[in-house]
Structure 1
Amino acid sequence: MAVKEPNGYRGNIKETMWSVWPTWESWNWTGSTDYKGEAVPSWEGKPIDVEVYTKAPKVKLYLNDKLVGTKQVSRDTQFKAVFSIPYEVGVLRAEADGKSVTLATAGEPARLRLTADRNVIAAGGQDLAYITVEVVDKDGRVCPDAAIPCEAVVKGQGQLMAFASADLKDREPKTSSRVTTWKGRALLVVRSSKTKGKAQINIKSSLPTATLTIISK
């Protein structure tokens, strides 16, 4: 399930022959600031399109436990159900074939969450660990509008190779130790040293410092 960015929320959206409409796994449309620091207005009460992707024949969509509607899904609909509903803070839930998926409005950023694709890598200077940095609220929900400047510090038996986000407008070098999270996320790449031991990763920001340990063996 994902939500089509409303045209005008962050300016007019222009499509080309090769583009797709920006669609996000987010139910945060309460207004924020854009990459220039300019205010983005709330979309409260305005229509917004929710897309649910499934091969199940029927989908039900709920907003704050109230049934929004039911849609039939087939090859003719590209296995996609589209619901247009007024935006309201809360929890979206789609149900199909006894399974469900949710999108919830995140609160204010509370901390950074670090998740490594693996916590043990091979010593020798050629192995890599990929660490996802997420800005989350007090309930652990990713804050999809969070743009938090971060700095990575790697100590011990490891080397910082890259720290970046998917923001195409970010001109900070990918090999820099600094990045600003985009859509609440960033990615850190750490390379093993040639010596066995531990690498401690600290991510500093305006939020509490987040720490993770990677072992080279």
Structure 2
Amino acid sequence: MVDIWAYYNNADEVELFLNGKSLGVKRKKGDDLHVMWHVKFEPGTLKAISRKNGKIVLEREIKTAGIPAKIELIADRKSILSNGNDLSFVTARIVDKDGNIVPYADNKINFKIDDEAAIAGVDNGDPLSHESFKSNSRNAFHGLALAIIQARLKPGSVNLTASSAGLAPATVQIVLHQ
């Protein structure tokens, strides 16, 4: 059995679907910011539809992940100032062949960046981790890790590459401008 929580603050109700079948509508109570279903696990697609006054305000869908296949890199900013201080936070996601994040993935991710920038730190959100923040690698936590890129003083562009044994690597380009 799994607890499924749907968080919301601007809707009156949420309807949950598992593989196309409705598991019912839950309505907000008082100041609660979530509703919950207790569901028997079944692989497939889970979809939540939030409504306010009967009108759909949000739909979210997640799918059961397969085995880890590759790394995806997502930069919060792909252009930063070349002033020696500016930062870009790059999220590394371990995904299956269909692009679904693999929540149990804990692969060690190695980061490499061109000389015009530096890796200021790494993280993964695991509150129990004893890994150093000052490193070029980090084990994923729930399929995620983070590399913080710091610009140096030379304008141009840099490539951050993330690799891990058995996974297809990924590269993201960050532009350094004056």
TM-score (norm 2): 0.88
Q: Does 1:66 align with 2:21?
A: yes
> 1:49 is matched by which residue type in structure 2?
D
Q: Does 1:144 align with 2:99?
A: no
Q: How does 1:11-160 map to 2 (within 5 A)?
A: 47-54=1-8, 55-75=10-30, 78-97=32-51, 98=56, 99-160=58-119
The answer to whether the 8 Å contact 2:5/2:34 transfers is yes
Q: Distance in 2 between matches of 1:58 and 1:189?
A: 38
Q: How many residues align?
A: 170
String of CA shifts for 1:151-170, please: whole Å, max 9, x gaps.
11111311111112111332
Counting aligned pairs with the same residue, the percent is 28
Q: CA RMSD in A?
A: 1.5
Q: Does 1:193 align with 2:152?
A: yes
Q: Distance in 2 between matches of 1:74 and 1:105?
A: 29
The answer to whether the 8 Å contact 1:156/1:198 transfers is no
Aligned residue in 1 for 2:172:
212
The answer to whether the 8 Å contact 2:48/2:61 transfers is yes
CA displacement at 1:199 relative to structure 2: 1.6
- Which blocks of at least 5 consecutive residues in structure 2 are unaligned? none
Q: Does 1:172 align with 2:131?
A: yes
The answer to whether the 8 Å contact 1:156/1:200 transfers is no
Q: Which has the higher contact order (CA 8 A, sep 6+)?
A: 2
The answer to whether the 8 Å contact 1:172/1:178 transfers is no
- Which blocks of at least 5 consecutive residues in structure 1 are unaligned? 1-46
> 1:130 is matched by which residue type in structure 2?
F
